[in-house]
């Protein structure tokens, strides 16, 4: 078994559903400390949602050398119904040349690859000029309020700058290394509340059903082409993630409907344009509504440069 595969299995075996780290960062820190990294654990967030962050750095021989950071997360999404899995999601299982387990794709394999590649690099280049860093969080799959952003704010206060960053999110389509992501779509979430009038379903004329009233507007929102994308990004996507209403009784027209939705948007759209588009459709439907908006992040695009070139060369040489 390769060192990378072995470490991947150890990481998958850690039950690290957001915001839990499950011991993943401790495994990584132990290996990094052994090759000369200074390791710092940064705990953030309230007691009921405590996040663990790892900042590790090995300084190069040149004090003015550049800093390359590996960034990623140890947390995973919930497993869902266990009976729908062919094996325990936290027991890494090899089958037909594939590795199964929660985090096998996103992104414990990448974390193991980061660590093992760094170990091999340091062994081969003990006097490397630049510095190497790791920025790892257990709050990426969740609200992400106490993860990477907390560490970045701390680094800014210290005056520590990163020159290059490689993120271990899975981007391959057909085979390993076939796509480099040099940008990210924006994320805009909304919580829509539509007011109705509660009544017994036997007397619908006394009520106003917000589920019925919003149906045409939802169809319009889903069908709308928000933009056409560009050479770097696919068209902006509107997705509904949750719809809930009612008191729990099956004979009551609900007085309110709540819908959670999200845009993953390209550089062809702005948050303001998307908000205006949604609100226009809802107003045209004569709905009584309110929306709480949350901007997760603006889209960005990194032009071709030294890091992208080095990545291309490495992929062609190794895959």
Q: Which residue of the set 75, 141, 146, 213 is catalytic?
A: 75
Q: How many residues does the chain have?
A: 319
DSSP 250: T
Count of CB atoms situated within 10 Å of the CB of 307: 16
- What's the rounded Cα separation, in Å, for the pair 219 and 224? 9
Burial of 250 per CB tally in 10 Å (0-12, 13-18, 19+):
exposed
Non-local CB neighbours of 272 within 8 Å, separated by 6+ positions = none
Is 38 known to be catalytic?
Answer: no
Sign of CA dihedral 118, 124, 126, 128: negative
Which 3 state secondary structure label does DSSP give 1? Answer: coil
Neighbour tally for 248: CB within 10 Å: 5
Is 140 catalytic? The answer is yes
Write out the two tokens for 319.
């895959």
Angle formed by the axes of helices 3-12 and 108-124, nearest 10°: 140
Catalytic residue among 106, 139, 140, 146: 140
d(CA 184, CA 182) in angstroms, rounded, equals 7
User: What are the catalytic residues?
Assistant: 75, 140
């Amino acid at each position: 078994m390769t060192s990378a595969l072995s470490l991947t299995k150890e990481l998958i075996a850690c039950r690290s559903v957001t915001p839990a780290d499950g011991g993943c960062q401790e495994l990584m820190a132990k290996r990094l400390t052994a090759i000369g990294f200074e390791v710092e654990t940064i705990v953030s967030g309230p007691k009921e949602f405590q996040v663990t962050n790892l900042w590790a750095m090995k300084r190069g021989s040149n004090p003015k050398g550049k800093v390359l950071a590996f960034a990623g997360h140890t947390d995973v999404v919930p497993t869902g119904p266990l009976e729908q899995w062919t094996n325990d999601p936290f027991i890494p299982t090899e089958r037909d040349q594939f590795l199964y387990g929660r985090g096998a794709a996103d992104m414990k394999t990448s974390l193991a690859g980061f660590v093992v590649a760094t170990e091999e690099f340091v062994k081969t280049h003990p006097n490397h000029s630049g510095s190497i860093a790791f920025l790892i969080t257990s709050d990426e799959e969740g609200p992400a309020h106490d993860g990477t952003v907390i560490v970045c704010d701390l680094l800014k206060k210290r005056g520590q700058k990163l020159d290059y960053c490689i993120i271990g999110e899975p981007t391959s389509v057909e085979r390993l290394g076939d796509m480099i992501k040099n940008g990210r779509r924006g994320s805009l979430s909304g919580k829509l509340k539509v007011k109705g009038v509660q009544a017994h379903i036997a007397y619908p004329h006394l009520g106003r059903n917000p589920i019925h009233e919003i149906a045409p507007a939802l169809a319009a929102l889903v069908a709308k082409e928000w933009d056409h994308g560009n050479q770097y990004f696919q068209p902006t996507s509107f997705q509904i993630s949750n719809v809930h209403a009612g008191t729990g009784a099956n004979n009551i027209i609900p007085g309110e409907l709540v819908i959670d939705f999200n845009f993953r948007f390209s550089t062809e759209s702005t948050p303001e344009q998307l908000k205006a588009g949604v609100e226009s459709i809802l107003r045209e439907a004569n709905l009584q509504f309110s929306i709480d908006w949350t901007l997760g992040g603006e889209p960005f695009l990194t032009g071709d440069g030294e890091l992208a070139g080095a990545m291309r060369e490495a992929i062609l040489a190794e895959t």
